[in-house]
Every structure is written in structure tokens, then in C-alpha cells.
Chains A and B, each alone.
Chain A
């Protein structure tokens, strides 16, 4: 069998030459960026061929790669099927991402579903050979014990601690263990997973951990992962579920060792996630979410045994999954709306989580109406020619003046790409200095005097105009196509915003507050959001940042049965509006594409 050698890696990959290089690498746990999951679209799965031969370069590669890349041996791994021994270089590294773990939290009373109680169990004697079950039932005042509890727990006498989930006994521990009562709150995002270990006795958050969702190898966005399921009907559900469950188990391990506690003392895990991630977690078919009419398999809250899906904590650990509203208004948004207490607010409040999908919830005197806008991945740095996720080396802010271009780079490194907040800042600046017009087009270079400081910033690629963000070597550009992507994203979100207000018959000046939730929004200053017109000018001084409200909602549900009930009620009450089906939406969207309010 031929082999693939990888620079700086000892072991070679032996392969059967029938699949593309990307698949071969991913199967062998070699990380290659692949936002479109090998469809020959995004042009990000670059590798460099060092030795050996690959099939001739395809037209698609010629279109997606720069000339100098091609001449230095760069290829797109999803478009080449190797046939012989080759040596390649992997170009990307898994980079450190910044993940938001904190957020605003309202006051509430602690009444977790899990509680512990101490009992005295009478030791048997020769004269009184009472069974352990009977002694325990006596002490607890119950009729009989679940046989599985007998199976899973040691027979122990004297002082014991009973672990309860509501009224139900779920565990028996020797001695007084009332001080060791832990739980976890998890937010599963399409991109990142955040978990907190909580002392349920005090409500204290002991430690947090965050990782990139390992399902990303099956595609970066929800639809690509659902498509992976369509293409691999046999085992996709299991693979997607294993990936996330393994990640949770890994985080449990990390958190327990950080806080120096035993994983057997974690009794409940509460999860908030978008609707698709919740399906994947429970191993439930998510296909229907990906197609019109977008009806999911389930939206209700689930309260199950964590062990049933392979989570390794205690035998009795409960898993509570928060409820969703619809395919595109998931439990993460329900949790966020609850954390912001939208259902109890007087006046008009808007909650918005900006990402690949922008979800918006409008509360008018506590009545809730939601919609979801397909903003596309541009705001996360994808679909952008020099785009990347917010990781080390990404430009996160741009300032342009007659002194030149000032770049702020994550980790203060040499810039290698631009992330979502960076692309927004750049477009905002281009609009401000007049290089990009309100309709999104670059101005013509002829219109600038050669002495103008902006003259050298604009260059032509054939007839297409582009902005030089960073000069060669390592040239970074903002193309007209990039500006269009931002325009589409902004149009999608802004039109959702207006459509909701119109549906609820509310004027812009009647809005009291706009709450920005989520990982991405937290990195967007008001001047960018309003400067680009993702949000209307009128709300600039009404913005409040609420952080990772999804995880906060999971935490609150973990700490209170009452909260769980209220969240379930909130999910039922929340209305949902399908934008595509609403009257005159296309016109509204068209108007919202303009870079002016």
C-alpha cells in the first residue's frame, strides 16, 4: 500500500488509493481545516506537496488558490486523490481559541433537584437478621428499594447518606457525604463547548473548561453535519454522538482534577444547546431540521440517566436537556431569554445572539416572539477570502486613517487572517473613509487622486477592486466578494430585527433595551454593530452585553427545579416566526442590505 508521509510527524499513513486526501488525513486524526467538509467550495483545506506526485491541478483549485500558492505546491486536499507515496506538509495548526464562559446572571433561590439526607441504618445481628433493604426502607420510610440501587451500591451500615433526585432515591453512600454535592452546567455550541463544575450545596462555580466541538471534523456548521448524516446513514448518528459525549467525559475529567473532586460525586448535568446539537447529543435523527419545513424530531426538555448516552460520572447521574422552541430557536436561546428574564419584563426588549444563525427574541410586556436569520458564516470569519476563526494570529480590529492601517491581532502575532470581528471592523472603516459605498461597492480607483492616502490601499485584480489590508509578503486582502458576504449577513440580521418589530407592531423608538448574547456578540463593540448597520443606529445606546447566557441558563436550571419549570413554560409560550414565509420579506431583506439605516 502507498504511504503518506507528513513533515514533522514520525508515522506514515498507509492507504488504499480510492479516497481524497482530506478524508485520509481526517480518518487518521490529522487536523485540516475543512469548513465545507470536502465539497471543493471553501478553499481552506490546503496542504503543501513536498515530494511525490498528485493528479494534475483542477480548475476548481486554480480558482480557489492564489498563483503563488500553486507554484509553491499548495493543493486542496479534498480535491486530490493520491495514488502513490507522497510527502506533504500540514499548514494549519489547531490554534488557541478564545471562548466566552461567563455572563450576566439574575438573582434566584437555590433549590436543586438533587439533595442529600443522612440516615442511621441499624446493623443486623444473629438475633435480628434483617435485610439491608428492609433496614433502609425503615429508615427512609419507603416500601421497597429499586433492585438496581442494590446492585450498584455497597451494603453499608451505620451512618449513610441518601442521594435524591426530587423525591426519588438515586444513590446510597457510606457515612456523611452531604458536603460533596456537585453538578455540571454545559453549553454545547456548534463551534465551542463550555462546561462548569458547580458545587450544588453553595452554588459556587468551582471550575470551567472549554473546547472546540469535536464534531467539527464532520463539518463546521449545523447543515454540513446534518448532511454528513445523510451521506453516512449507517453510523453518522453514533459518530456524532460519540464525539460530543467523549468531549463531555474529557471535560468532566479535566474539571474534576482541577477541583480535586471525584466524578462519582457529580449527580446532575444540565445541557443547553441549539436544537441540532441536542439531537446529536441524544443520538436522535436531525435530518428533518435541515430541510423545509424544518420540523425537528423533538423540542421538549429531556430528563434522563446520563449513563444511558455514555456519560461517565456516577451511576445515578441525571442528564437534563433544556427545551427548544423550533429547529432554529434552540435551548441555548430559550436559556438566554430566561436568564434575561424576558418573560417578566415590562416594555419592549430585544434579545439577539449573533452567529452563523442570528437568533432574535422580542419581548413586548413579557409576550415573546422569535425568529432566526441565516446570517451565513461570514461573521465567524468563514466564506471570507482571508477569513479565519477568532484564534491566535487573527486580525480582530482594524483602524484606518491617513497614517495608514492599524491592525490588532489576537496574541500580538504576525497576522495570518481575519476573524469575524476584524472583518466587521474593516468594513466599518472602509465605509467611514468612503472606500466602500452605501450599496456595498468599492469606489472606482480613478476617483481618487494619486496623492490621496487611500489610493494605494485599493488595487485591481483584473476589473475587480480589492482593499489591501496587509501588503506582501503574506498579503491579506478584503475583496468585493468579502464585503458582499458581510452585506448578506448584515441584511439577514437587520431584516429579522425589523420583521419582528413589524409583526409585534412596535416602533424602533419604543425599544427599551437590546441584549447581545453569545460568544461572537461579546467581541463586537457597539460602534461596529451600528457602524455597519447590523443593528439600527437608534439602538446604539441601548445595547447591553449578557455574555454566555446559554451556559448561565443551564447553571440556573441545575441549581433550581423551579427554574427548570419556568424555562419549560417559557419555551412553550415563545412564538416563532419563519422569516422566509413572511409577507414581503424579500423586499425588506433587499432594503436591509444597504449600508445605511
Chain B
């Protein structure tokens, strides 16, 4: 008895929401064997599940770590599905963003979450990791022709680095081409305004809305 495509896609979405990595892989394999298109499983299954998870996060039902576990399940499914995408889909150009924790700080859970949410929302994210030398944000943005830069820090002592990056972007002559968004424990709207960043987001869900807004993406 074969299971319908819709049924499998729903199970993928649920698997992500319920943080069931193994279920997701199992369903993905079943889905591929049945010969259904990988693209729909990603968009309507995995990404849909992740969107539901972020909704739960926004409602405070899910916590940071829950969302991280959901994303583990999503990425596992993605890695199996990706090779099955038609070339046209795989090579589709998405808006690109640079993300990292600024120099001097090693706290990266929040950054990871923002990256996941942005990837789920269809952005191509280049993750520089944590304790990132400030110049690297600029160099990478240039190299990758990025449309936005995301920076985070948990510590007041390192937040000054964000201001430096804004200045370095200006010096490199690419300030106008990239939007700068910042976040993290000690960061506020007030601070973003002070250093001339384009936006501040108090959490990962807001970050997606913010970036879409700044880039005029519906």
C-alpha cells in the first residue's frame, strides 16, 4: 500500500516540529523511493515544519533549544533531499547574507538560531562562526556580493565591534550595498540607531521579518 504524497509531506512537517530526526530521514527515504519531487518535500514539508516551529517560538511555546533541535531534524532531511533537486532549483540564486558573532565573543547559540531562521526563509547564509575578526565581515560581504550582514554579541564589552564594522563597510565603499542588522543580549534599537545600523531584532523570528523588510521582499 503506497502512502500519498500529501501524507508523507505532512509527516515531514510534523517530524520537524516534533524534533524527530530519525522519523524525518525515514520519511524522506520513503518519499524519494515513491518518486515524488524533492522540491515539494523541502518547501511544503521541512520548511513548513520549521515555520511552524518558529511560530511556536514566537508564541513562547518553544524555546531556543527546541528550535535548534527542530532545525537538526530539518537539516538532516535537507541533506538527503538536496542531491535530488533538479539543477534549475539547486542553482537558483537567493539573496545572500553574512552572519557571525563579533570579535571577542564566543557565545553563538542566538546567532545559530538566526541563521537557521533566515535559511529557512530562503536566504543563502554565509556563517563566519564566532569570535569573528571585524574585517572578515567586510571582506566576506565583498567577496560574496552579499546583500546584508548580521552581527550578534552577548557581551557589552564586544558590542563596540559592530560600530567598527559599520565604519569599515563605509571605508570599503560598500555600506550602501549591504543592510546591517544586529542583535544579541545587550543590543537595543537605541544602540542600532547610534551606530548607524539598518536594524535591530530582539529575536530570530523578528530578524527574518526585519531582513525581508529591509530588502523589500514580500
Where the two chains meet, the residues of A that have a C-beta atom closer than 8 Å to any C-beta of B are 36-37, 39-41, 58-60, 79, 219, 223-224, 226-227, 230, 287, 290-292, 374, 439-442, 463-465, 480-481, 484, 487, 580-581, 586, 589-590, 593
Contact = CB atoms under 8 A, between A and B. Distances in A.
A374 B185 CA distance: 13
A481 B60 contact: yes
A441 B65 contact: no
B36 interface: no
Interface residues of B, number: 28
A39 B59 contact: no
Contacts of B157: 223, 226-227, 230, 287, 290-291
- Scoring A290, A291, A440, A589 by chain B CB atoms within 10 A of each residue's CB, the highest score goes to A291
A440 B104 CA distance: 31
Contacts of A36: 186
B184 to A, nearest CB: 11
Contacts of A480: 60
Interface string B81-115: 00000000000000000000001111101000000
Contact of B158 (A37, A219, A290, A481): A290
B190 A40 contact: yes
B155 A441 contact: no
A60 B193 CA distance: 12
A292 B190 contact: no
B188 A441 contact: no
22 contacts: A37-B156, A39-B188, A40-B189, A41-B186, A41-B187, A223-B156, A226-B157, A227-B159, A287-B157, A290-B158, A291-B104, A291-B105, A292-B105, A374-B107, A439-B63, A439-B66, A441-B61, A481-B60, A580-B107, A581-B106, A589-B109, A590-B68
Contacts of A374: 107
Nearest to A37: B156
B191 interface: yes
Contacts of B105: 291-292
Given A223-B155, A439-B66, A464 B59 contact: yes
A292 B61 CA distance: 33
Contacts of A79: 190
Contacts of B68: 590
Interface string B161-191: 0000000000000000000000000111111
B155 A593 contact: no
A224 B158 CA distance: 11
A464 B60 contact: yes
Interface in B126-147: 131
B103 to A, nearest CB: 8
Contacts of A59: 189
A39 B186 contact: yes
Given A39-B156, A58-B190, A593-B63, 13 more contacts: A39-B188, A40-B188, A40-B189, A41-B187, A60-B190, A291-B103, A441-B60, A464-B59, A465-B60, A589-B65, A589-B109, A590-B65, A590-B68
Contacts of B103: 291-292
A497 B163 CA distance: 37
Contacts of B156: 37, 39, 219, 223-224, 226-227, 290
Given A292-B105, A292-B131, A40 B191 contact: yes
A484 B203 CA distance: 14
A580 B109 CA distance: 11
B43 interface: no
Contacts of A292: 103-106, 131
B187 to A, nearest CB: 8
B37 interface: no
A292 B180 CA distance: 23
Nearest to B112: A586
B158 A291 contact: yes
Contacts of A227: 156-157, 159
Contacts of B122: none
A440 B63 CA distance: 8
Nearest to B155: A223
A488 to B, nearest CB: 8
Contacts of B61: 441
Nearest to B202: A63
Contacts of B107: 374, 580
A586 B130 CA distance: 14
